[in-house]
């Protein structure tokens, strides 16, 4: 990215920040009398494309992020850390479609680092050379598991772990502090959730070794050993980590813990508002937009299911502005 392109991109980002949802708008959404009333508030703020379908509105907003970033940055590869999850999701879709009587192309996600066309061609030709080398072993392993066992959960485990390992690798390659912190946090949250759910369902050591991802702040060998011994041992191990301050949340409500983790990321990216010499303000904007879309998705589900207000508020993310 040239210096001029960088200056232009950051200026465009700053102009866009005024349209981000703030905490007072989130309060309005929470207080809205119905899902329809909430959606009207969002539409008045420019969300969606006129559709009345909730999921379509969220999908449109997600697409808007990358449409905008594509307008201001020519080479999107600097953001592959944030896009690679879409690639692995699409690899999952392609593999499962191979074994499904009713494949659904609508669940592919746009704006990954690899085109949907290439992922489909990889599957049709049974040739992983259509995707980057660092994704190939995961796609091959997931396909072989699916072919031999028909176990879609095993396929998911391989690709979910692959997505996080590649995300960490790409974040390190980027040299950007914010991307590295984001990738490491994503992996740590995943490990904690896997350990807790696995301990409660008495999963084997082999399961944990297959699913856990090496990351900063969590020793996966210690976590794996603790999980095999039971949930209390997992809690005891986590007390020794940087996540000890969230142990009460971890014990009571994993959704609330995930919210806490997202808020830690939000605190970190707020520092980037006043940085103009790196890609961090652009990364921060992307994460801020994804954060507000996630928050609106949670509110949509809550409104649809008449979830109690106290439960809704526990899951609300801090906003960037």
139-193 pLDDT, tens digit each: 999 999 999 999 999 999 999 999 999 999 999 999 999 999 999 999 999 999 9
- Give pLDDT, residue 113: 96
- What is the three-class DSSP state of 34? coil
Contact (Cβ atoms closer than 8 angstroms) between residue 58 and residue 296? yes
Instruction: Return the closest-CA partner of residue 282 out of 3, 4, 2, 11.
Output: 11
Q: Is the pLDDT of residue 22 over 90?
A: yes
- The total of other beta-carbon atoms located within 10 Å of residue 25's CB is 16
Burial class (CB in 10 A: 0-12, 13-18, 19+), 205: exposed
Q: Is the pLDDT of residue 277 over 80?
A: no
- Give pLDDT, residue 272: 76
Tens-place pLDDT, residues 182-234: 999 999 999 999 999 999 999 999 999 999 999 999 999 999 999 999 999 99
Contact (Cβ atoms closer than 8 angstroms) between residue 232 and residue 199? no
CA atoms of 249 and 260, how far apart (whole Å): 8
- Give pLDDT, residue 275: 76
The predicted model gives 59-76 an average pLDDT of 94
Q: Is the pLDDT of residue 292 over 90?
A: yes
- Give pLDDT, residue 268: 82
Which residues 6+ apart lie within 8 Å of 129 measured at CB? Answer: 122, 136
Q: Is the pLDDT of residue 94 over 90?
A: yes
- Give pLDDT, residue 86: 96
pTM above 0.85, yes or no: yes
- Give pLDDT, residue 318: 85
Q: Is the pLDDT of residue 54 over 80?
A: no
- Give pLDDT, residue 253: 85
Q: Is the pLDDT of residue 273 over 80?
A: no
The predicted model gives 120-132 an average pLDDT of 96
- Give pLDDT, residue 308: 82
């Amino acid at each position: 990215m040239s210096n001029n392109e960088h200056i232009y991109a950051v200026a465009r980002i700053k102009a866009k920040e005024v349209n981000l949802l703030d905490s007072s708008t989130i309060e309005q959404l929470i207080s809205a009398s119905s899902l329809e009333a909430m959606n009207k508030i969002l539409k008045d703020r420019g969300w969606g494309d006129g559709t009345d379908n909730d999921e379509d509105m969220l999908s449109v907003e997600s697409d808007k992020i990358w449409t905008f970033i594509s307008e201001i940055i020519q080479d999107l590869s600097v953001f592959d850390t944030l896009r690679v999850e879409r690639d692995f999701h699409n690899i999952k879709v392609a593999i499962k479609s191979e074994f499904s009587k009713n494949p659904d192309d609508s669940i592919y996600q746009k704006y990954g680092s690899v085109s949907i066309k290439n992922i489909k061609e990889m599957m049709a030709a049974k040739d992983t050379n259509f995707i980057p080398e660092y994704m190939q072993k995961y796609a091959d392993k997931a396909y072989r598991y699916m072919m031999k066992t028909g176990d879609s959960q095993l396929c998911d485990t391989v690709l979910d772990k692959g997505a996080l390992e590649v995300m960490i690798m790409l974040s390190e390659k980027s040299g950007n502090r914010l991307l590295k912190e984001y990738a490491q946090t994503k992996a740590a949250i995943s490990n904690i959730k896997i350990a807790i759910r696995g301990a409660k369902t008495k999963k084997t050591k082999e399961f944990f070794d297959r699913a856990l991802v090496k990351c900063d702040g969590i020793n996966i060998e210690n976590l794996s050993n603790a999980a095999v011994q039971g949930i209390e041992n997992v809690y005891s191990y986590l007390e020794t980590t940087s996540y000890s301050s969230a142990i009460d949340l971890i014990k009571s409500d994993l959704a609330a813990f995930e919210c806490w983790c997202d808020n830690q990321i939000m605190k970190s990216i707020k520092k980037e508002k006043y940085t103009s010499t790196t890609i961090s303000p652009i990364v921060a904007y992307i994460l801020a937009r994804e954060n507000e879309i996630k928050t609106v998705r949670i509110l949509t589900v809550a409104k649809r299911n008449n979830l109690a207000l106290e439960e809704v508020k526990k899951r609300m993310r801090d906003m960037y502005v």
